[in-house]
């Protein structure tokens, strides 16, 4: 028996969860969200409720289950408003993990920022042209380190292709 089934199995428990949910939510006049105002879980900021000795349920899942019944296994309760504290049924919908990820990406959340490599990296001290020159020139690591004002280790890593490998190189 999962936590939603446990919550809904006993009318007294169901009513207890419902009353605590209502007591710990507050309407946000600006967004229309019904926001959880009690302690929120560190994992994504979701509110949680205890359900007997059985464990905890996220507040938005409790709200959905109380209004609509059991949530099918493997199905998420997603937020249209992208507010993890929201328990407003008008802002919630069911979705598969894939639908949840597509919704997240469509809203621009979870998109990784561009990775800066080479000369565009914030710690880069050498240009791509300087890297190419170091790889093509003869001379000792020490003399090149002095010329380009970097460490001998940096020259060694460049010459051994352990840093800034260009796409046209093998």
- Extents of the domains making up the chain: 3-106, 118-159
Task: Give the pLDDT score at 119.
Answer: 76
Report how far residue 91's alpha carbon sits from residue 100's, in angstroms, rounded to the nearest whole number: 14
Q: What is the pLDDT of residue 111?
A: 65
Confidence of residue 136 (pLDDT cuts 50, 70, 90): very high
Q: What is the pLDDT of residues 16-66, one digit of tens each?
A: 999 999 999 999 999 999 999 998 866 678 999 888 887 889 999 999 999
Q: Is the pLDDT score of 164 beyond 80?
A: no
CB 61 within 8 A of CB 49: no
Give the Cα separation of 8 and 5 in Å (integer): 5
Residue 42 is predicted with a pLDDT of 65
What is the phi/psi pair of residue 44, to 5°?
A: 85, 0
- pLDDT tens string 83-99: 999 999 999 999 999 99
- Bridge partners of residue 27, in order along the sequence: 34
Nearest to 71 by CA among 88, 50, 94: 94
Q: How confident is the model at residue 167 (pLDDT cuts 50, 70, 90)?
A: very low
93/90 Cα distance (integer angstroms): 8
Residue 24 near residue 38, CB atoms below 8 Å? yes
Residue 103, both tokens: 């919704």
What is the pLDDT at residue 169?
41
CA 135, distance to chain mean position in Å, is: 40
């Amino acid at each position: 028996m999962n936590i939603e089934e446990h919550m809904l199995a006993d009318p007294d428990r169901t009513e207890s969860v419902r009353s605590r949910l209502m007591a710990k939510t507050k309407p946000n006049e600006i967004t229309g969200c019904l926001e959880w105002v009690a302690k929120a879980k560190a994992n994504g900021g979701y509110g949680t409720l205890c359900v007997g000795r059985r464990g905890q349920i996220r507040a938005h899942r409790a709200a959905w289950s109380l209004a609509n019944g059991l949530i099918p296994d493997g199905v998420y309760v997603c937020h249209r408003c992208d507010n993890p504290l929201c328990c407003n049924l008008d802002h919630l919908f069911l979705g598969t993990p894939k639908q949840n990820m597509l919704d997240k990406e469509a809203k621009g959340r979870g998109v990784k920022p561009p990775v800066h490599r080479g000369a565009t990296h914030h710690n880069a001290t050498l240009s791509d042209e300087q890297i190419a020159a170091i790889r093509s020139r003869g001379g000792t690591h020490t003399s090149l380190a002095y010329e380009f004002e970097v460490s001998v280790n940096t020259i060694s890593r460049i010459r051994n292709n352990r840093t800034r490998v260009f796409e046209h190189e093998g």
